[in-house]
Amino acid sequence: MKNLLTVFTVLFFTFSFSQKKAPKFQVSYSKNIDTYFLAEILSAEHRKINKDFELFKIKECSTYQPIVKRALEKYGHLKNSKIAHLTAQINDTLLSKYGIGNDAIMKPLLSHKEFPLKGWNDDYLFEKNTLTKVQNDEITFLIKNYISELQQFYIQEKIGDFFSENKTFYDGGIKEYYQQIPANFVSAMEHYYGERFGSYTVFISPMMMWPIEDNEGRGIGTDIQHSGGKKSIYEVASPFMRVAKEGEFGYNNQFQARFLTIHEFGHAFVNKEVYQNKDKLNMFKDLFEKSNLKEIMTKTGGVADYQTCVVEHLVRLGEIETAIIQNDLERAKKLEAYHLRNHFIFLPQLERKIKEYNANRKKYKKFGDFVPELLKVFENSDIKWINKELDINKDKI
């Protein structure tokens, strides 16, 4: 009996320790991702599309992002290297030929083994429902070849030494980000969406450049379906605070950290549900393109198509509902006001509609079951109402 108790105690503490070592939510950084963003910095002068903006990002961000400045000091001489040309080429090709940005490169970077290792953790295939199979196969080939070159660049230029030299900064950024996130927000999201994923990870990326104005940064969401059946959810986060002194790392803003994290994780729950119901949005496609909505949202938020407009509304709805579940009504109100200023005009209707979902969870087991009802909010609109709401909110920017 004593031996049995000893075994049980060992197993219990081993289990408890493993839970602490592998929490469902974690903040870290990815060598693959920041190696890519280093290559992107080196490629700026070779870009054919958005060259001026890429050069502006370097000039601007290097003044208040220490990792960018240190990377330029150590690797700036490689601006004419093979990887600089290849990085410019793949970004220009993806954008001009297929209409997609560098966010498409995050998933394969995380599917690949961490540099300097070769090979893939998960078999990677690019998929976008607005492209043909031939186009998806072409992009898969382009990205796989590019990441192979990036891995060689990591080895040849000993990029691992840079991460070792700057470990204190990366560790500081991770700690700073952790401090901004509300406790148990993952549980609140899973309750609202009625769905669970295997893990949720934020990768801070001090190397990613995004000009910081009004404490706003950039988040990129992606997910990976593992062969064992579980899906991992990720956010890649640029700094959103200017680093002014030692002991700061670019992530000390609670509202922006919470907004970006819950927003980017929300895409994993929302996107697939909208895409599989896109046949229910035929009328809204016409409304989106013929009203002022497309022009305004493309200009101010980069939302250039009707599916993305719907997705971004529903993700923002999820942010607000998550805050309400956490009894953080102040955050919910602040989010609603913030998004209305940015032309997400359907939010008030969606908030009223979602009450039906919340009140009937026996009927609607998960968010996806209720999405067809939410889509009616968009379908039942009209051009006159859309343009009127846009005019009402334009002065709030």
Q: What is the per-residue DSSP string for 304-348?
A: -SHHHHHHHHHHHHHHHHHHHHTT-HHHHHHHHHHHHHTT-TTHH
Q: Looking up tokens 């993700």, which residue turns up?
A: 315
User: Tens of pLDDT along 238-279?
Assistant: 999 999 999 999 999 999 999 999 999 999 999 999 999 988
Q: What does the buried/exposed string (b/e) look like for 25-44 if buried means 16 or more CB atoms within 10 Å of the residue's CB? A: bebebbbbbbbbbbbbbbbb
Half-sphere exposure of 274 (CA within 13 A, CB side): 25
Largest CA distance in the chain: 78
pLDDT (0 to 100) of residue 394 = 62
CA 340 – CA 347 distance, rounded (Å): 7
Half-sphere exposure of 38 (CA within 13 A, CB side): 30
State yes or no: pLDDT of 191 exceeds 70.
yes
pLDDT (0 to 100) of residue 216 = 87
pLDDT (0 to 100) of residue 17 = 31
Under a CB-based contact definition with an 8 Å cutoff, are residues 215 and 180 in contact? Answer: no
State yes or no: pLDDT of 220 exceeds 80.
yes
Tell me the pTM: 0.88
User: Tens of pLDDT along 73-123?
Assistant: 999 999 999 999 999 999 999 999 999 999 999 999 999 999 999 999 988
Under a CB-based contact definition with an 8 Å cutoff, are residues 256 and 239 in contact? Answer: no
Domain ranges of the chain: 30-165, 276-397
CA 9 – CA 12 distance, rounded (Å): 5
